[in-house]
Amino acid sequence: MAWFSRSKENISPDSQKKDLPDGLWEKCPGCGEIIHKKQLESNLWTCLKCEHHFRIGSEEYIGILLDKGSFKEMHKKMRSPDPLEFEDTKKYKDRLNNTVKALGLYEAVRVGTGKIEGRNVALACMDFQFIGGSMGSVVGEKIARVIDKAVKSKLPLIIISESGGARMMEAAYSLMQLAKTSARLTRLADAGIPYLSVIADPTTGGTTASYAMLGDVNIAEPNALIGFAGPRVIKQTIGRDLPEGFQRSEFLLEKGFIDVISHRKNLRQTINNLLELMT
């Protein structure tokens, strides 16, 4: 009998559940809670119900950590010259141009100087929105230069990592940045200048294999994915199920790979307290 079941033809489009209006609401990936964007922003982009940490960009991190108006950006318009003339589904040069136009960023990291509670610091902050926060030759060069600035001006260094790893479109040029940034951090350590590494979700690949895990203190946000190869790749390689919470910040804290897990609301204070002890 037709009235026992409703066919798709009998359901009008107007009766379907409408999508949430763009720009007003966000659904928490952790618990499914629907949160107004203004509430989310006032809570530093963390869920009011389950405290899930949403991914945010460099502008938001700079606003959270640094004294208002204190950030002075360096090398803002430095861009990759596309040394390999790489092309997959589109030309790498076109991908870069489109991303720059869409985001107003020129690369996947912003570097400069600023202040935390009046204390001068050097800062590099990656941005996952820019080609997955991938580390190309310009990312490595900008980080190397801000390390040089920290050494020259004797400024504590903070690097916020949020990256899918080395940028495949630059191949070996990208991989060379692991050695370059690690060598620069050795100079920083030799000068006795503190380096705090802040690791956000996700931080993987070559970024993890270099500067992200070389901090004097490694600080992670809760439940951040941190590793070299992804968990699916590892599972397929070894043919075994992985431990619960594998490669999440809580798992890494237990195993000694990171030193502190800090809620985003406490991150500025955590960094300030550490700098008080280290400077």
- Shared domain check, 142 and 47: no
Furthest CA-CA distance within the chain:
83
- Shared domain check, 153 and 48: no
- Shared domain check, 258 and 201: yes
- Shared domain check, 158 and 214: yes
- Shared domain check, 134 and 28: no
Model pLDDT, residue 14? 43
Q: Tokens representing 34?
A: 């629907």
Closest by CA to 71, choosing from 111, 15, 11, is 111
- Shared domain check, 133 and 166: yes
- Shared domain check, 45 and 64: no
- Shared domain check, 93 and 165: yes
Domain hosting residue 258, numbered range: 57-278
- Residue pointed to by tokens 């979700």: 201
pLDDT tens over the chain, length 279 residues: 444 444 444 444 443 344 444 568 999 999 999 999 999 999 999 999 999 999 999 999 999 999 999 999 999 999 988 989 999 999 999 999 999 999 999 999 999 999 999 999 999 999 999 999 999 999 999 999 999 999 999 999 999 999 999 999 999 999 999 999 999 999 999 999 999 999 999 999 999 999 999 999 999 999 999 999 988 889 999 999 999 899 999 999 999 999 999 999 999 999 999 999 998
CATH value at residue 188 = 3.90.226.10
Whole-number Cα distances in Å, 17 to 3, 13, 20, 69: 21, 9, 9, 44
Model pLDDT, residue 69? 97
- Shared domain check, 266 and 171: yes
Model pLDDT, residue 22? 57
Buried b (16+ CB within 10 A) or exposed e, 70-88: bbeebbeeeebebeeeeee
Model pLDDT, residue 231? 86
The domain tally of the chain equals 2
- Shared domain check, 106 and 241: yes
Amino acid identity, position 271: I
**pTM of the prediction?**
0.89
